[in-house]
Amino acid sequence: MSEKWRVGDKILDQYQIKFIKKGGMGIVFLCYNHVSKAPIAIKTFQDKFLKDATSVERFKVEAETWVR
C-alpha cells in the first residue's frame, strides 16, 4: 500500500508528499500538512515486510518510543 504513493500525491487528502526516503525496512514520506500548515514526516513499512510478525512488532516498539 505505502509504495503506491509518489511525490505530489496526497495521503488522506491532507498530507501532500514532497519527498520520499527509503531505508532498510521503512519508508519516510516528508509531507506538507494542509490542515496545520506545517511540514510533517510519516514513516511506514515497506510492503514486503508487512507479512513478518517480528518486523512489525519491532516497528511498533520504535513508533511507541518516538511518540513518548
Write the pLDDT tens digit of every residue in 19-40: 999 877 788 999 999 999 999 9
Question: Is the model's pLDDT at 17 over the cut of 90?
Answer: yes
- What pLDDT was estimated at residue 1? 54
Lookup result for grid cell 495521503:
11
Q: What is the pTM of this model?
A: 0.72
CATH number of the domain encompassing residue 49: 3.30.200.20
Contacts with 56 (C-beta within 8 Å, 6 or more apart), sequence order: 45, 49, 50
Instruction: Give the pairing type, strands 26-33 and 10-11.
Output: unpaired
Its domain, for residue 29, covers: 2-67
- What pLDDT was estimated at residue 36? 96
Lookup result for grid cell 496526497:
10
Q: How many domains does the chain have?
A: 1
- What pLDDT was estimated at residue 12? 92
